[in-house]
A and B are shown apart, each in its own frame.
Chain A
Amino acid sequence: MPKVKFTYALKRFFPDLQDGLIEAVNLTDALHEVDQRYPGLRSYILDEQGRLRKHVQIYLDGDPIRDRENLSDPIRSETEIFLMQALSGG
């Protein structure tokens, strides 16, 4: 199963947040699963039209995803999904 890991910054809003294995065959399902586990978290990652938020990044096995609009980048059963906030601003 893919493993999902979270930036520490999200712990402020989801204190119980823990990295873990999820059942998913694509990124959309993965985020749906994450949202089931931590209600509301999906809205921190995606906007209401399903696009990756401007200052958020998702890495798959260390590489940033390419499709920020539809999240069509493929994942495998052992993919590590890392949800990260972009380091911007001052």
Chain B
Amino acid sequence: MKKTLLIGTRKGLVVARKKNGTWQLGDVHHEGVPVSIAYADPRSNTWWACFDHGHWGVKMQRSVDEGRTWEEVTAPAYPEGAEVKEGVPATTRYLWAMQQGGASHPNRLWVGTEPGGLFQSRDQGSSFQLVESLWNHPSRVGGQWFGGGRDHAGIHSVVVDPRNEDRILVGVSCAGVFESKDAGLTWTVRNTGLRADFLPDPQAEYGHDPHILIASPTDPDILWQQNHCGIFKSSDGAATWQDISDPEGEANFGFALSVASDNAAQAWVAPANSDVTRVALQRKLCICRTDDGGKSWRTFRKGLPQDHCFDIVYRHSLVSDGDDVLFGTTTGNLFHSGDRGESWQVISNYLPMVYSLQLI
């Protein structure tokens, strides 16, 4: 059972720990600095903090002693002359995803960024190189990637297949899902079955907006995504996608999704009102869970605010481990459920805006 929670917030990295069944906030690292991703590499227990300094640009620090000391490493940077599009120089605007490269590649790390570059490290994060094959993909160079929620396209999800760690999938807002079977040398688009209602052609090959892409821990061929246009699931390793939204219920629009650590058919989403207002549905916070692979969804509200609630949950801010489910919100609330989302307790009402959670 995981008993430590790393919380990336607009004002620093906060650590929570579970003691006697209760989660309590503890140490704060990098107070005042926006932490877009707080990540722990499970292979080495190295902690990472991805910074989004308003003034000084994006930066990264790592800690090999659980936050007692931190070391700055050179953050992913675009090569000289790289352009987002003609006349727009590419610079790292945001660090949006971090993923370890798997047990068979102990030195490999992946980082997703805005404006759309995927970076790989081959030395445990001491340096990062742009994955040129994806950056130069004809769909991106041809202008079929664009910003969704940020100025430029961004890679927010990196999925590594534990059976073959050279097989990776990335989620791009907005472009869609891309798969590589050779550790990033070549790429295939995997958007079949997705729908992009905001495009002139909703079935376009590119331009889709997966808000988060996650593989089931117990069956990596089952992939889930909370998409801008609903919730989608694939049972064939992202070859095809099926819409599993609940048009009559709450589970439709949102950003975050978590799949159960022990059940490939169970997942949670954090619904939000439409992409127009982006507040809690009817200003009442709820979490939805499916136990049957998305055929049906149940909505849970016990312990969550049901009045004047504006919270939404960002894409990296809903996590689960066994019976434990936790999420943090845009207005700094942090909740825990010990019964798979059916009832909730407040951990804190006073955090800064929550950008990411990770259980370790």
- Where the two chains meet, the residues of A that have a C-beta atom closer than 8 Å to any C-beta of B are 9, 13, 40, 43-44, 47-51, 53, 55-56, 85-86, 88-89
Do A40 and B72 form a contact, CB below 8 Å, given A13-B56, A47-B57? yes
Answer whether residue B54 sits at the interface, using C-beta atoms and an 8 A cutoff: yes
Which 5 residue pairs spanning A and B have beta carbons closest together?
A48-B77, A47-B91, A44-B56, A49-B89, A55-B55
Which residues of chain B from 65 to 100 have any CB-CB distance to chain A below 8 Å in the complex?
72, 74-75, 77-82, 89-92
- Distance in Å: Cβ of A68 to nearest Cβ of chain B: 12
- Chosen A-B contacts, 26 in total, with CB atoms closer than 8 Å, are A9-B55, A40-B74, A43-B59, A43-B74, A44-B53, A44-B57, A44-B59, A47-B89, A47-B92, A48-B77, A48-B78, A48-B79, A49-B78, A49-B80, A49-B89, A49-B90, A50-B80, A51-B89, A53-B55, A53-B56, A55-B54, A55-B55, A56-B55, A56-B56, A85-B55, A89-B54
Contact between B77 and A86, CB atoms less than 8 A apart = no
Which residues on the A side are within 8 Å of B57 (C-beta)? 43-44, 47, 53
Which residues on the B side are within 8 Å of A88 (C-beta)? 54
Main SS of chain A's interface residues? loop
- Distance in Å: Cβ of B318 to nearest Cβ of chain A: 28
* Interface size in chain B (residues, C-beta < 8 A): 19
Nearest A-chain residue to B33, judged by Cβ: A12
Roughly how many angstroms separate A47 CA and B115 CA in the complex, as a whole number? 14
Nearest B-chain residue to A41, judged by Cβ: B56
Contact between A86 and B55, CB atoms less than 8 A apart = yes
Contact between B72 and A13, CB atoms less than 8 A apart = yes
Which residues on the A side are within 8 Å of B91 (C-beta)? 47-49, 51
- Where the two chains meet, the residues of B that have a C-beta atom closer than 8 Å to any C-beta of A are 53-57, 59, 72, 74-75, 77-82, 89-92
Which residues on the A side are within 8 Å of B54 (C-beta)? 55, 88-89
Nearest B-chain residue to A46, judged by Cβ: B57
Which residues on the B side are within 8 Å of A51 (C-beta)? 89, 91
Roughly how many angstroms separate A56 CA and B57 CA in the complex, as a whole number? 10
- Distance in Å: Cβ of A59 to nearest Cβ of chain B: 15
Roughly how many angstroms separate A40 CA and B77 CA in the complex, as a whole number? 13
- Distance in Å: Cβ of B352 to nearest Cβ of chain A: 13
- Distance in Å: Cβ of B277 to nearest Cβ of chain A: 23
Roughly how many angstroms separate A89 CA and B54 CA in the complex, as a whole number? 8
Nearest B-chain residue to A14, judged by Cβ: B72
Contact between B92 and A48, CB atoms less than 8 A apart = yes
Roughly how many angstroms separate A88 CA and B82 CA in the complex, as a whole number? 28
- Distance in Å: Cβ of A44 to nearest Cβ of chain B: 4
Roughly how many angstroms separate A85 CA and B113 CA in the complex, as a whole number? 24
Which residues on the A side are within 8 Å of B53 (C-beta)? 44
Roughly how many angstroms separate A55 CA and B91 CA in the complex, as a whole number? 15
Nearest B-chain residue to A51, judged by Cβ: B89
Roughly how many angstroms separate A63 CA and B75 CA in the complex, as a whole number? 31
Which residues on the B side are within 8 Å of A40 (C-beta)? 72, 74
Nearest A-chain residue to B56, judged by Cβ: A44
Which residues on the A side are within 8 Å of B77 (C-beta)? 43, 48
Roughly how many angstroms separate A6 CA and B147 CA in the complex, as a whole number? 35
Nearest B-chain residue to A9, judged by Cβ: B55
Roughly how many angstroms separate A35 CA and B78 CA in the complex, as a whole number? 19
Nearest B-chain residue to A56, judged by Cβ: B55
- Distance in Å: Cβ of B145 to nearest Cβ of chain A: 19
Roughly how many angstroms separate A50 CA and B80 CA in the complex, as a whole number? 9
- Distance in Å: Cβ of B69 to nearest Cβ of chain A: 14
Roughly how many angstroms separate A88 CA and B56 CA in the complex, as a whole number? 13
